[in-house]
């Protein structure tokens, strides 16, 4: 989500999943090329973990919603994270559930891991394996 230069602006306090959150809109730095027109995160006041993030295609058209199960938030290696996440793509009508079973914090990864060409190759492999699984192979 090209949000490296984003500046948070607190919009207001609200409640998500029965928990107090700070509703924060992210504003991109001048010159950044956004993937989304607007991003709003609802950050849990106790854990500082986003419980919900809304990604907008246009300033008023919601494209994706990412939610986490507050009960899945744990502390690992000094970092709090949600181990259960749901991504709803409203445009393509697709929902993805993510469950983290194991994580290692503080492990160095080679920079090439996140190079665009490597990410593209990994995505293609994932799609190929999905296609073969659907075909029964």
Q: Whole-number mean pLDDT of the chain?
A: 80
Residue 23, pLDDT > 70, answer yes
Residues 6+ apart with CB under 8 A from 92: none
Highest mean pLDDT among 5-9, 12-16, 115-119: 12-16
Residue 105, pLDDT > 70, answer yes
Record the pTM: 0.70
Number of H helices, E strands in the chain: 1, 9
Angle at 12 between CA 7 and CA 16, to 5 degrees: 105
């Amino acid at each position: 989500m090209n949000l490296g230069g984003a500046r948070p602006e607190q919009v207001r306090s609200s409640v998500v999943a029965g928990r107090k959150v700070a509703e924060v809109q992210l504003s991109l730095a001048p010159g950044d090329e956004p993937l989304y027109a607007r991003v709003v995160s609802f950050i849990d006041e106790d854990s500082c973990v986003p419980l919900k993030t809304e990604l907008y295609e246009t300033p008023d058209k919601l494209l994706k919603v990412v939610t986490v199960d507050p009960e899945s938030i744990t502390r690992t290696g000094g970092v709090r994270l949600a181990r259960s996440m749901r991504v709803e793509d409203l445009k393509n009508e697709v929902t993805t559930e993510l469950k983290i079973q194991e994580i290692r914090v503080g492990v160095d990864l080679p920079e090439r891991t996140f190079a665009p060409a490597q990410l593209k190759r990994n995505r293609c492999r994932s799609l190929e394996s999905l296609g073969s699984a659907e075909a029964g192979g």
